[in-house]
Amino acid sequence: MPTADPSVDVAIIGAGIVGIAAAARLAEAGRQVVVFDRSGVCEETSSGNAAAFAFSDILPLAHKNMAREVPRWLADPLGPLSISPAYLPRLAPWLARFWRAGRPSARHAALAAQAAMMRLAESEWAGMMERSGTGAMLREDGCLELYESDAEWRASLEGWAERERFGIGFRHVRAAELAALQPGLSPRFVAGTFVPGWKTVADPKRLGKAIADYAERLGVRFETATVASVSAGAGLAAIGLAGGRSIACRTLVVAAGAWSHRLAAQLGDRVPLETERGYNTTLPATAFDLKRQLVFSRHGFVVTPLDGAIRVGGAVEFAGLDAPPNYARAEAMLEKAKGFMPGLDASDGRQWMGFRPSLPDSLPVISRASRHRNVIYAFGHGHLGLPPAAATGRLVGDLAAGETAAIDLHPFRVTRF
Ligand SMILES: Cc1cc2nc3c(=O)[nH]c(=O)nc-3n(C[C@H](O)[C@H](O)[C@H](O)COP(=O)(O)OP(=O)(O)OC[C@H]3O[C@@H](n4cnc5c(N)ncnc54)[C@H](O)[C@@H]3O)c2cc1C
């Protein structure tokens, strides 16, 4: 148990977008922060994602229609969803929880919590972008979700009605308006939904690094190191780095993405964190004249305009943290995209895989550790980590300061499982 004077005020494990945003927020509040990451600043999942800055995307993934969709998804070995047979026994308890999270009462509670989080996130990001001078990285051209049949469009309406209840604007489009929003689409797309308030960022890696630069200007130190162990006592917490160095701190923040549950377990909390692995290919900007982010929900992927590039990707693969990537999944999405966007030049692509940190109810853990007031968890942001990062940073700051949190944190508590 650490007893010495702290060598660090706040230690954060993880320099993904969540750890970076928390570091910036804590530094703004005058705390002395050191962030430890084994691979540098914004180099893993937060670096290569699809750049959706989608405050309007509030629907939990589990829903009652899932039973209808899953067999179709699983039937295609390179389709939107795949489960490694060898991994299935380990995944089964998570799947059972996911299934229960789709019950109407659980789903509505998660939806309300996510909507509150996104409302906070939008205002927190506005402030953070202004203070850090990153506002120019925001793209506000909306997104276009596409459907291949009236039946598919009709099936989407329930979800749009749920969003409408939370004030999210959209309009269904067809024919000329659809073609104007994105010229050059395959005629197989008969309908679309345009979401004007859906934002993207110019490049998630550049945004993460720019917020980290801002945090550094406020005094945050980033250190490249692997954290091998964590512990906490009544006063101090401590981390042990691979190589043997040990660091005591007043406050410890665990923001280690899909690896966070391994650290939480050392602190006495069992968290059903899974990784939904995802893939993409980044093409030169000249590959297609892309007007805005396109969402092909039925096929589980999106196409995003970035600064100087186009990114095609998504999909969910359950295979754990250690299996090697299967880039055939990235290729399969690119092949589909070529059919959906005739004229797409799919050459010179760069493939990537990332680890979404996912909890069964699609909500993150933002919470004190159950046994240690000086340890704060901030992980599990799943499919959408970018928008809630600034809200999470704010909430971590509230917890660290012992202040009332900006939103009700009960739905995000670590003990809910
Ligand atoms: C294909 C794909 C597309 C996506 N698209 C979007 C999107 O469009 N919009 C969106 O908002 N989200 C998207 N996401 C999700 C988003 O990327 C994640 O939710 C988000 O990046 C999680 O951020 P994080 O900071 O929690 O984790 P990470 O970015 O994974 O950061 C955690 C960090 O912790 C470090 N770490 C872990 N363990 C240790 C240790 N023991 N010692 C030291 N360091 C450690 C890791 O090195 C890592 O850098 C997508 C994800 C994928 C895979």
How far does the centroid of ligand 1 lie from the alpha carbon of residue 222, in Å? 17
How far does the centroid of ligand 1 lie from the alpha carbon of residue 176, in Å? 38
* Closest atom, ligand 1, to C-alpha of 45: 29
- pLDDT at residue number 2: 46
- pLDDT at residue number 5: 55
256 lines ligand 1 (CB under 6 A): yes
Q: Model's pTM, two decimal places?
A: 0.97
* Closest atom, ligand 1, to C-alpha of 381: 19
Cα(177)–Cα(223) distance, rounded to whole angstroms?
Answer: 50
Cα(17)–Cα(389) distance, rounded to whole angstroms?
Answer: 6
- pLDDT at residue number 71: 79
Cα(57)–Cα(48) distance, rounded to whole angstroms?
Answer: 19
- pLDDT at residue number 208: 98
Cα(101)–Cα(238) distance, rounded to whole angstroms?
Answer: 34
How far does the centroid of ligand 1 lie from the alpha carbon of residue 18, in Å? 8
Any idea what DSSP says for residue 315? E
For 5-45, the pLDDT digits (tens) are 578 999 999 999 999 999 999 999 999 999 999 999 999 99
How far does the centroid of ligand 1 lie from the alpha carbon of residue 276, in Å? 11
CB-based burial label for 176 (10 Å; 0-12, 13-18, 19+): exposed
Give the residue ranges of the chain where pLDDT is below 50: 1-3
Which amino acid residue places its CA nearest to atom 18 of ligand 1? 385
Cα(20)–Cα(403) distance, rounded to whole angstroms?
Answer: 21
- Which residues lie below 8 Å from residue 396, measured CB to CB, with a gap of 6+? 22, 25, 26, 253, 255, 366, 376, 378
How far does the centroid of ligand 1 lie from the alpha carbon of residue 40, in Å? 13
For 227-254, the pLDDT digits (tens) are 999 999 988 999 999 999 999 999 999 9
